[in-house]
């Protein structure tokens, strides 16, 4: 896929429950993100690590997220 450029990874932990339950998912995703970045692959520029949602965004930021999805916090539940 020569016309596709990978710029990061995205993951979501469990949607409900204790936000700490998401931490292992975020830790593992950050490790994978860093490994891919070290490979210096063509068409891969690891800039964005998107993890967490309204329930778990604080944990996601602690684990290295630079993008979080907090729509429910801003716009309310669907």
Kindly state the DSSP code that residue 68 receives in the 8-state scheme.
-
Identify the pLDDT of residue 27.
98
pLDDT digits (tens, 9 = 90+) for 23-49: 999 999 999 999 999 999 999 999 999
Identify the pLDDT of residue 66.
98
- Is 1 domain-assigned? no
- Is 23 domain-assigned? yes
The structure tokens listed for 7 are: 């710029």
Residue 11 bridge partners (DSSP)? 51
**Residue 61, number of CB atoms within 10 A of its CB:** 15
- Is 33 domain-assigned? yes
SS3 label, residue 25: helix
Domains in the chain, number: 1
Query: Per the confidence metrics, is the pTM higher than 0.75?
Result: yes
Host domain of residue 43: 6-75
């Amino acid at each position: 896929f020569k016309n596709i450029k990978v710029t990061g990874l995205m993951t979501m932990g469990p949607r409900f429950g204790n936000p700490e339950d998401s931490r292992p998912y975020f830790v593992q995703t950050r490790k994978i993100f860093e490994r891919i970045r070290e490979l210096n692959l063509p068409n891969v520029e690891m800039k964005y690590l998107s993890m967490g949602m309204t329930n778990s965004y604080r944990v996601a930021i602690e684990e290295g997220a630079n993008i979080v999805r907090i729509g429910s916090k801003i716009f309310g539940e669907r």
